[in-house]
Structure 1
Amino acid sequence: MDAVRTSNPDSTSGGSATGKTGRSARRGRVSPDHRVIALSVALGVMVLAGHAYVLVTHPLPNISDGFVPLWMLVLMFAATEGFAIHLRVRRGGHALGFSEIPMVLGMLATAPSLLLITRMVGGGLGLALLRRQRGVKLGFNLALIAVQASVAPLIFRLMVGGTVDVLGPTAWAAAYLAMFASDALAAVLVTAAIALKDDPDEWKRMGHALRGLPLVAVTTTIALIGAMAVEKDLRALLLLGVVALVTWVTYRAYVRQSQGHAQVEELYSFTRALDGSLDSDDVARVVLTQVRDQMRAEGAELIVPGPGGRGYLQHRLTGTDELDAEFLLEMPADAWWVPAAKGEPVLLPIARDRIPTNAVAVPVPLGNGTGVLLVTDSLPDTPAFTDEHVMLFQALANHASIALAKSQLVDQLRHEVSEKERLVLFDPLTGLPNRRRFGHHVDEAVAGDKPAAVILMDLDRFKEINDALGHDTGDAVLREIGPRLNGRVGARGIVARFGGDEFAVLLPGVANEDEAVSVVNELNAELERPIPVGAMQLNIRASIGIALAPDHGNDSKTLIQRADVAMYAAKEHRTGRRVYEAEHDRNTPRRLALIGELDQAINRRDLLVVFQPKLDPVTGLVTGAEALARWHHNEQGFIPPDQFIPLAEHSGLIRPLTLHVLEVALRRCASWRRSGRDLSVAVNLSPNSLMDTNLPDIVARLLGQTGVPASALTLEITESSIMADPTGSLRTLERLNTLGVKLAIDDFGTGYSSLGRLRELPIHEVKIDKSFVQRISVDHRDRAVVRSAVQLGHALDLEVVAEGVEDGETMAHLTKEGCNIVQGYYVSRPLPADEFLAWLTEREAQAPAILEAAADGNVVYPRFGT
């Protein structure tokens, strides 16, 4: 059997698959080719030195007259090297030949040095002419041949000496040992070459490299029997050739059948390898490693659509199994593999300009488009890729597509989760932590009564910037202030934005008032540096409040609240900054008690939800109602909404309060509709509600539970709540609009960017603020404002609602101007659910007369309710 040789020691890493990252990472290292060359040179030097030493110190006598001509040995060595059987070991390979036959004949009939030359010449011709080896690979295999041609005769001669019958049992044993030893040594050297060139883990596969050794016994036996026959008659070489040929054909068929089974096992192992990883980079590495090995290719690449459908990611696997990735803005139009991206496999069997010698590319169907999987430059044991390789490659790509699609889905889900976490915990405008995140940091900093300072700052007269220069300019100022504060605080603490023009700073470990004030003075100096806006320079000042832990509190809620009190004291007294003092907060006990009691009232569902009717002023028909929260305190009696709603906003109770009102309103609306009344219901949303990314899901769930159609629900929002976070608010509004919910702008006309933002929002209704409505009958300026609002709303195909209708004259004016819906005390005060139903029933009894009057062109303005 021939020496076990590497099938590709000079080209195991595909040049076409080497990315920029891989090249730069390997810059300056000794190249794999140079390592193999060094090994080859070392082997050659060892062979020459060994032969010189043996010839000088221990000359070995000829043990038999040559009974096989040298030229015939040369031909036999050339044939056995040229027609080798390839055993695949991962991406490497080992060539099995029958060179044991001429080797044994040569050891019996030729001097060692002459045998070395004969085998080098014959083996070199077989490798160069028949197997077309060149360069580093040819040099290494010639060095390997020289080692085998030196080791085997040396072992043989040392065992048999010069006086023993060379065709006797001693010679047989010597021949077996010499052949086994030389082939085993060759297996070790080939493994070393592959490890140096391509894969350090090749040593783990030594067992595969020794799989051909059992055949050595067969070929050595054939050679010994043949030697005894040839010694009697040279023509016996023909019989020996017949036996060798039959054995070669039989073993090659066995090897091909075994490799066919191995290919099925490799396909199964490929599928199994993909099952374990969900990370997209790991999946790409497994896919490229497996297809490169199974397709017997130099290089492998994977091109998949980029995240969000933007561009493409091109993964390349280098010869040292390094995964390089490059982002492509668009698919290159002139790339040879582009048809595969359109669903057509590509096979390049011959060389062309500026493309690989031979290559295959197949489509990889994915959820967000079609990717491309390709291999380039087949290894020497695979002369060229064929249609069979394309079929195998398509099967591999189909398995890979499932794993890749799954990994992309996991990446998308991770991104969405990360984005939701960011939206929940960070301010979208500045990227700073928001109130919730800041509260977590404060609680961690003060746990165990550790000292800390909480600083709250509110920009003075910031609204004037928005009013005069527009909201975009205000946003630009806020984006500038965030990094300024962050840069000044640095590693000493954490900067957050609470919303609007309010920022907060946490200084862990600071309990001393002087130290906190010193930091505040730094922050003030940073804020007062002019901010360039176009050709202008804006000067910003802030009112700042300071609360210290544990003196002023030992939890985030208390410390933030007391810093807020100090800040408003600074604003009220125009001192710029204040440290919290108890006298600033005389109402705090009552306020804190109310917050706790409000929390309990919400949890117990003690808050009353009342309904104020909404009326069509032309027909007099009730179209729906607005749901409003009312709180009757057990001890303090009725607490106005303008007192407890701000408490809920400030304390974080506004979310459960809003959800309570929303749920009650939808359940009441469902009962009205079940009784045959086609009514709608409106619910107010706070500014914080629009920052709740779960709000659309909650609304959808409640609509499904109550059976109320989405079109029967109107959610009212103020312009100022949208302006607090335009991007996040718009995202929430668009999701609500997709559900089919109606959206209304409340207090229309009081905001500072109404006309600029109105056309950009997915709204269905504008609600004119009562401050304009209530004096419409006596103030021509308010009439002009209302008239303009109605005309603007109708021009934008919006329904116009007027609130605060207190008398019949106001109703008449609104009807004349074309207002679609009115509500106010002239129609009815807000009523508890049962009273509203009774009022509605009474109102319906009068409907025929009102409709008849309306049909005759007479508009009736009765006052309903009290």
Structure 2
Amino acid sequence: MSARWWSHPGNRVVALSTVLAAAIVAAQGLHLLWGGPPDVAGQVAAAVVLATIFFVTEGFVIHLRVRRGGHAMSVSELPVVLGIFAVDPVVLLVARVVGGGLGLAVLRRQRGGKLGFNVALIGLQATVTALVFAALVGRPTDVGPREWLATYVAVFVSDALAAALITVVIALHDDPGELRRLTQAFHGLPLVAVTATIALIGAVAIRHDARALALLGVAGAVTYIGYRAYVRQSQGHTQVEDLYAFTRELDGSRDSSEVARIVLTQIRDQLRAASAELIVPDTHNRGLLHTRLTGADDLTSVWIPADGPERWWTPAATGTPVLLSPLPDRQPHDGIAVPLPMGDGTGVLTVTDSLSDRPTFTSEHLKLFQALANHASVALTNAALVDRLRHEVTEKEHLAQHDPLTGLPNRTRFNELVQEAVDGDRPAAVVLMDLDRFKEVNDALGHDIGDALLCEIGNRLKSQLDGRGVVARLGGDEFAVLLPGAGTEDAAAAVTAELTAALERPLPVGSLRLTTRTSAGIALAPGHGTDARTLLQRADVAMYSAKDTRSGERVYHPSQDRNTPTRLALIGDLGQAIDHRDLQVVFQPKVDPATGHVTGAEALARWHHPEQGFIPPDQFIPLAEQSGLIRPLTLHVLDVALRRCASWRRTGHDLGVAVNLSPNSLLDTDLPDVVARLLRETGVPPHALTLEITESSIMADPTRSLRTLDRLHTLGVKLAIDDFGTGYSSLGRLRDLPIDEVKIDKSFVQRMAVDRRDRALVTSAVQLGHALDLEVVAEGVEDLDTYTHLTREGCNLIQGYYVSRPLPADAFATWLRDHEVIPASRAPERSRA
């Protein structure tokens, strides 16, 4: 018997029926060998009567529902009991098979494999009953207590065997789980006891008067009617309990697929259908999701077009239930479809092909189905909402750990992956890659092309690695690669050289083919570090070394690292100095050369280290920028400067104050809010504050920088370009920036008195600024000639040692009282900072 043949449910039922028929033949054969041939001729009349009764009893069947299976209980024990007293087992078998088989085919309309199995089953029941009875009492000569006991044992054994075999055939046909409910199959045995008792009483009565057979029929009919009423009432209660169990089963937070399986399983079983279907509209317009559960617990889902041909359940999708009348040659044979209201539309629930132990679905089944659908609607809607929330959470988690542009892991996720790789001192390499001159691509071709190039680079790196490592984008044009298992410098360098060479091949971006060059730094675990932070920091050091030397890729070496212990200690001291407000803020005056009046001052940070003494700004400002301390440093200077400006104005000096912003400050989206808060707290009008920025700070990220500048400009704060003239594109950007002032770099101002080229540049800068309606400030003015020339050129403000060195706040207040007007012929100020 092949596995393919056995896999068909009908074939399995045929096999079981064949086994039962063989068992009947074997049992009857043994009986004939043991007891000899029966007197068949003398029992023909009795056989005909019994066959007739067996035929009639098949029309009076009580169906006991067990999950989606059904056990048919009849009063056929009455003629069986009469038969074991009246005829030989072989004759009883023939009467039972002929009469019962005709009753199954004519009255209960069974066909095919089901009819074959049931005929074999009733034949086996008759055989077992007769042979068990014969084994206990032999040929009966009386109907006494000994025969009563034998009768009870015989009918109980045969009916228990029949219940078990029905459970087995349901399991073989379409429901393997039916075997777990074997005990429920014996719920009909009480009826067996009743009918056996009535039959025994009838047998005793018939021995005295054959007309008692009519009374026996009345007793059987009353028993049948009463037990059927009891079963219906019991099954009504069971139906309510099933409905409650259905709602309880749907409680809890589950995904949609699990809820769909529960819904389809429950409605298929409770409505006793061959299959159940769920049709749900899709929110993304992919059509209808059609999920089908068959009797074998096979769950399948397929997408079907929403605008396909009309189907038998289509009216239910618009809110109209459908009760499909049975037709023999139609698929499905019969069915019910009910609408299923859901949050995003209306779905459909269907059951098809009612089980063959009843004619078809009825209006009562439709009502039950609608009640089930109402509960299913709530559960499926909630499950869909939970699915959507889970999907959103998953998406947010993915976005939190992945770069939104390339889809690669971001810095946070890459750190986790590196840490996982190096835990336990396992070898690994971290490669940090930075694109050379990527900014030119953005400037020349636009950010769309730049973004497309970054995506193509990420794809090429992944393709080139081919599963040997993980690629991540850390930000901007910086990529990172983790190479697990790369324990030597040569191995890591070989893979890195392969990656950089791959990126040097032309990359297709739209209609363009672009070439790139990269600088890569390599750090290895555990030699260069045993944690992700250290490895990334040292790979970064190696990468910048490769960029400086234009060597393509470099492996980390301590000699490359600027983060010496002394430097790190200085960063720590700087952080403490900012926290404790130990940094000093000094002020250098600004003068209007046309009038000699002091109009304001520039606030500058000074640091006197408790051990190393004075540390110049060009040393500690870069430290603050590289270590992330520039923000608290800038806020400290802003706070002190505005409070001092407020005190000057309270004493009658209508002065403004200027504060330098670092390049990173313009990327701080909170900066405008902080400035607005400090202005409110100090009472300084916005126009009295000038924020000085360099061109390079704008070029780092023009979009975000301009957004911050616009918000500051809206506050009324003045904006100035510092070190004007040193940037390569300042002139082209002046017209687009919301600035009020340009500040000519001191490198041009200091030699203008002796160098005609510097003088020409300063003169041009002043004229350009005025042409654009901007104030022009010259810094680095250290002598009278320079002061005089700038006055003659119409420079708006002068700043430098000729006016005053930067002064501590209290010293500046004192100086201000003595120098409200600066004469052009005054000797240079020699006050000390």
So what's the TM-score if we normalise by structure 1? 0.69
2:407 equivalent to 1:431: yes
* Whole-angstrom distance in 1 between the partners of 2:584 and 2:352: 74
Deviation at 1:334, TM superposition (A): 1.6
* Counterpart amino acid of residue 559 in structure 1: L
Q: Is the Cα–Cα contact under 8 Å of residues 432 and 520 in structure 2 kept in the other structure? A: yes
SS in 1 for 2:332: coil
Instruction: For residues 21-69 of structure 1, give each alpha carbon's deviation from its aligned partner in whole angstroms, at most 9, with x where no partner exists.
Output: xxxxx97862121111100011112212332343245326559975964
Deviation at 1:127, TM superposition (A): 0.9
Partner of 1:124: 101
SS in 1 for 2:141: coil
Larger radius of gyration: 2
Partner of 2:240: 264
Trace 1:33-112 onto structure 2 (pairs within 5 A).
33-59=10-36, 61=38, 69-112=46-89
* Whole-angstrom distance in 2 between the partners of 1:562 and 1:75: 99
2:707 equivalent to 1:745: yes
2:104 equivalent to 1:142: no
* Whole-angstrom distance in 2 between the partners of 1:499 and 1:603: 29
Q: Is the Cα–Cα contact under 8 Å of residues 456 and 546 in structure 1 kept in the other structure? A: yes
Partner of 2:270: 294
Trace 1:689-700 onto structure 2 (pairs within 5 A).
none
Partner of 1:562: 538
Instruction: For residues 115-157 of structure 1, give each alpha carbon's deviation from its aligned partner in whole angstroms, at most 9, with x where no partner exists.
Output: 2221111111211111111111111001101111211122222
Trace 1:600-639 onto structure 2 (pairs within 5 A).
635=609, 636=615
Trace 1:698-737 onto structure 2 (pairs within 5 A).
none
* Whole-angstrom distance in 2 between the partners of 1:549 and 1:385: 71
SS in 2 for 1:343: coil
* Counterpart amino acid of residue 263 in structure 1: Q
User: Paired residue for 1:383, among 359, 372, 391?
Assistant: 359
2:458 equivalent to 1:479: no
Deviation at 1:228, TM superposition (A): 3.1
2:219 equivalent to 1:243: yes
Q: Which moved more, 1:237-246 or 1:327-336?
A: 327-336
Partner of 2:261: 285
Instruction: For residues 606-630 of structure 1, give each alpha carbon's deviation from its aligned partner in whole angstroms, at most 9, with x where no partner exists.
Output: 9999xxxxxxxxxxxxxxxxxxx99
Instruction: For residues 730-761 of structure 1, give each alpha carbon's deviation from its aligned partner in whole angstroms, at most 9, with x where no partner exists.
Output: xxxxxxxxxxxxx973569xxxxxxxxxxxxx
* Whole-angstrom distance in 2 between the partners of 1:279 and 1:607: 59
Partner of 2:337: 361
Aligned-pair identity in percent equals 54
2:204 equivalent to 1:228: yes
Q: Residues 27, 48 of structure 1: CA spacing in aligned structure 2 closer, same or farther, 3 A cutoff? A: closer
* Whole-angstrom distance in 1 between the partners of 2:368 and 2:183: 27
SS in 1 for 2:707: strand
Q: What is the number of residues matched between the two proteins?
A: 693
Q: Residues 98, 424 of structure 1: CA spacing in aligned structure 2 closer, same or farther, 3 A cutoff? A: same
Q: Residues 87, 660 of structure 1: CA spacing in aligned structure 2 closer, same or farther, 3 A cutoff? A: farther
Q: Which moved more, 1:587-596 or 1:430-439?
A: 587-596
* Whole-angstrom distance in 1 between the partners of 2:131 and 2:637: 99
* Counterpart amino acid of residue 565 in structure 1: V
SS in 2 for 1:339: helix
Q: Is the Cα–Cα contact under 8 Å of residues 584 and 607 in structure 2 kept in the other structure? A: no
User: Paired residue for 2:417, among 404, 419, 441?
Assistant: 441
Deviation at 1:685, TM superposition (A): 9.4
Please tell me the root mean square deviation across aligned C-alpha atoms, in Å.
Answer: 4.8
Trace 1:144-163 onto structure 2 (pairs within 5 A).
144-162=121-139
* Whole-angstrom distance in 2 between the partners of 1:641 and 1:240: 114
Q: Which moved more, 1:574-583 or 1:63-72?
A: 63-72
SS in 2 for 1:545: strand
Deviation at 1:487, TM superposition (A): 3.7
Stretches of structure 2 that go unaligned for 5 or more consecutive residues are 586-602, 610-614, 641-660, 681-692, 744-765, 775-795, 798-808, 810-833
* Whole-angstrom distance in 2 between the partners of 1:811 and 1:371: 72
Deviation at 1:186, TM superposition (A): 0.7
Q: Residues 554, 364 of structure 1: CA spacing in aligned structure 2 closer, same or farther, 3 A cutoff? A: same
Q: Residues 631, 229 of structure 1: CA spacing in aligned structure 2 closer, same or farther, 3 A cutoff? A: farther
Q: Residues 373, 723 of structure 1: CA spacing in aligned structure 2 closer, same or farther, 3 A cutoff? A: farther
* Whole-angstrom distance in 2 between the partners of 1:686 and 1:142: 92
* Counterpart amino acid of residue 222 in structure 1: I
* Counterpart amino acid of residue 286 in structure 1: I
* Whole-angstrom distance in 2 between the partners of 1:395 and 1:285: 18
* Counterpart amino acid of residue 104 in structure 2: L
Q: Which moved more, 1:538-547 or 1:474-483?
A: 474-483
Question: Which structure would you say has the larger RCO, counting Cα contacts within 8 Å and 6 or more residues apart?
Answer: 1
Q: Residues 608, 375 of structure 1: CA spacing in aligned structure 2 closer, same or farther, 3 A cutoff? A: farther
Partner of 1:196: 172
Partner of 1:831: none
* Whole-angstrom distance in 2 between the partners of 1:39 and 1:188: 13
Deviation at 1:327, TM superposition (A): 3.4
Q: Which moved more, 1:766-775 or 1:499-508?
A: 766-775
* Counterpart amino acid of residue 282 in structure 1: E
* Counterpart amino acid of residue 83 in structure 2: G
User: Paired residue for 1:647, among 610, 618, 626?
Assistant: 626
User: Paired residue for 2:520, among 533, 538, 544?
Assistant: 544
Instruction: For residues 262-296 of structure 1, give each alpha carbon's deviation from its aligned partner in whole angstroms, at most 9, with x where no partner exists.
Output: 11111111122222452322222111111111111
So what's the TM-score if we normalise by structure 2? 0.72
Q: Is the Cα–Cα contact under 8 Å of residues 631 and 639 in structure 1 kept in the other structure? A: no
Instruction: For residues 431-472 of structure 1, give each alpha carbon's deviation from its aligned partner in whole angstroms, at most 9, with x where no partner exists.
Output: 222112222223333446654332211122333333444433
* Whole-angstrom distance in 2 between the partners of 1:661 and 1:232: 124
Instruction: For residues 76-108 of structure 1, give each alpha carbon's deviation from its aligned partner in whole angstroms, at most 9, with x where no partner exists.
Output: 111212220000000101001000111122222
* Counterpart amino acid of residue 48 in structure 2: W
Instruction: For residues 194-239 of structure 1, give each alpha carbon's deviation from its aligned partner in whole angstroms, at most 9, with x where no partner exists.
Output: 1211222322222211111122221112112223333444433222
2:152 equivalent to 1:173: no
Partner of 1:584: 560
Deviation at 1:720, TM superposition (A): 7.1
Stretches of structure 1 that go unaligned for 5 or more consecutive residues are 1-25, 610-628, 665-681, 707-715, 725-742, 749-763, 790-799, 816-824, 827-834, 836-866
Partner of 1:503: 479
* Whole-angstrom distance in 2 between the partners of 1:50 and 1:657: 103
* Whole-angstrom distance in 1 between the partners of 2:305 and 2:160: 52
Q: Residues 567, 236 of structure 1: CA spacing in aligned structure 2 closer, same or farther, 3 A cutoff? A: same
